[in-house]
Structure 1
């Protein structure tokens, strides 16, 4: 069994040394480190050159993290892939803990884990993201065993941080790798397609330190919510039977994603876009919230403000 660490890098030279050191300091060494420089304009290439000739370095025009990770997978000689972003770090026994679980549960094809969050000065911000989302007890009880109905759990809440993943390369190719046309949620789409076919696991142990800084593209935005509709539509089309087998309606997933997008537009005053999103929600599945907000989005701004004022007064009473 060979393990390849794949690190996409885009203008993160300041943190790259720490990321690679965290890979080299593993209690169980990986077999190769691959850095895909996704068109950086900082001194990423110089940093890599200083870190030794054992690193596989590939530079390409900027195409986004999905394309960079896919390129890293294609360059990998390992039959298992471990991902790490250039501004994050693994904990020292990350790989060892995952291999121990794989030995106990050899049918697993993806093993993820918990992560902590740090700032640019390595100060701890969040000790456990699983605990933050109320999931740590669930995965503690499983102790590395395959997650029951993992696909349904994933589409309810993506519990897999990409930088904690150790995954079979064959499973990645079976699921057609990361979708480079989706910028937000492309990881969920891929993990869900793998979970539809294979057992997966999530350890309660902290396997990664994720760095929070101004360049993180994780804040709610129009683009993120648009991409969520595309992710859910993709899953509905590609793994609809598997979703239904785990009690999840594919149409519900898509309808809720469009409702969420419409609500974002509505709150931001983009009533034309809101109407379009609410109509898409209703097209996938009839639902009262989308219908009510579709009607509301056709009111004038003054009328909407009046309705909100009445609502607030009613809530106050």
Structure 2
């Protein structure tokens, strides 16, 4: 049975980009039943651009209060059975609505459905699009979605369709988060609901140098990673404290691990999640305690987790620059062979960053990384 699809599109000062996004939504092979644009107090020509779309869209104009509040207002107004949230600067591929809605209609037990994305930016010389793979992507099977999300956000809202009943159950977007509110929401959804990740490309994620944030908290594009770090720390400090060890893994991996090996594997995974969120000062003591309790050889799964710890799209500058992290690394290296092995794995997995810094002639960054690669004593 066909279900109604509501698009929610929050926007703030995107007059130069939102038209392309709306055109891509209105060019879907299956048109959404309603498109609600929540104009969060734009001060540029955004209202005039939106007016040009007439009755094809519904515009809610409100005083600026941030993206989370705008989405909560949109959810209160939405009439659809399926909610599809979009960003105001991305491009949606024509078959996306049909694919996402079709998967949910075909399987009543499916709570959400997601598709892949590619990053792109407009080439200033040619005006064409330069495409590249996303910084983090996993072709997650249903039981892997939440464990994979813990290591990074690979499900973005323009590629995600969710049953309205799910949003009703999990509650509103958190207005205390002015960044990462969409990441926190998909974590909340995926933890307790059944989803599916489709192999098809759903949208193109635009990279650009425009300002981000609400009217009272604007910041430049190059500050993105630092902003994400702040709010992801808040999200993951609470989330990891609430998670049982089994929730960190898909059931097949967890059940396939010997019971006596599970505590250390879980501690290694917790440290990996922390490190990938740039919470190194929390990750290193977690690993230290784990190897002091269990000094046996690491499994391939544990080595893989340690290796992935330095490969976050957010980077790992604390490894090279933070004196407190360096002291924790030295402490870890003195915890016997397993502590020293962790350090060696981390050092091996950061060599690519040194190669990249040298290629870019970033001499100061190269020196910082080389200092980290020198054996600790």
State the TM-score bracket (shorter-chain normalisation): 0.7 to 0.9
Give the aligned partner of residue 21 of structure 1.
Answer: 23
Does residue 1:124 correspond to 2:124, yes or no? no
Does residue 1:102 correspond to 2:115, yes or no? no
Give the aligned partner of residue 202 of structure 1.
Answer: 197
Per-residue CA deviation, residues 32-54 of structure 1 (Å, 9 max, x unaligned), is 11111112111111111121034
Does residue 1:37 correspond to 2:39, yes or no? yes
Give the aligned partner of residue 85 of structure 1.
Answer: 87
Normalised TM-score (structure 1): 0.74
Does residue 1:234 correspond to 2:238, yes or no? yes
Q: What is the distance in 1 between the residues matched to 2:181 and 2:96?
A: 23
Normalised TM-score (structure 2): 0.64
CA contact (8 A) 2:12 2:41 kept: yes
Alpha-carbon offset, residue 223 of structure 1? 2.9
Give the aligned partner of residue 259 of structure 1.
Answer: 280
Q: What is the distance in 2 between the residues matched to 1:127 and 1:104?
A: 32
Per-residue CA deviation, residues 147-206 of structure 1 (Å, 9 max, x unaligned), is 223211110232101111111122123222322212333222211211121111121211
CA contact (8 A) 1:19 1:87 kept: yes
CA contact (8 A) 2:151 2:272 kept: no
Alpha-carbon offset, residue 87 of structure 1? 1.2
Provide structure 1 residue ranges, at least 5 long, that are not aligned to the other structure.
Answer: 140-145, 293-305
Relative contact order (C-alpha < 8 Å, sep 6+): which is higher?
1
Give the aligned partner of residue 227 of structure 2.
Answer: 223
Instruction: Tell me the SS of whatever aligns to 2:204.
Output: strand
Alpha-carbon offset, residue 106 of structure 1? 2.7
CA contact (8 A) 1:3 1:31 kept: yes
Q: How do 1:45-64 residues align onto structure 2 when only pairs under 5 Å count?
A: 45-64=47-66
CA contact (8 A) 2:271 2:282 kept: no
Per-residue CA deviation, residues 241-287 of structure 1 (Å, 9 max, x unaligned), is 77257455696477544326897457556x5xx57xx7xxx9xxxx9
Q: What is the distance in 2 between the residues matched to 1:114 and 1:197?
A: 21
The worse-fitting range, judged by mean Cα deviation, of 37-46 and 259-268 is 259-268
- Do the aligned partners of residues 46 and 309 (structure 1) sit closer, same or farther apart at CA in structure 2, a change above 3 Å counting? closer
Q: Provide the aligned C-alpha RMSD in A.
A: 3.7
CA contact (8 A) 2:120 2:207 kept: yes
Q: What is the distance in 2 between the residues matched to 1:253 and 1:266?
A: 14
Give the aligned partner of residue 169 of structure 1.
Answer: 164
Give the aligned partner of residue 303 of structure 1.
Answer: none
Give the aligned partner of residue 10 of structure 2.
Answer: 8
CA contact (8 A) 1:193 1:235 kept: no
- Do the aligned partners of residues 254 and 28 (structure 1) sit closer, same or farther apart at CA in structure 2, a change above 3 Å counting? closer
Instruction: Tell me the SS of whatever aligns to 1:13.
Output: coil
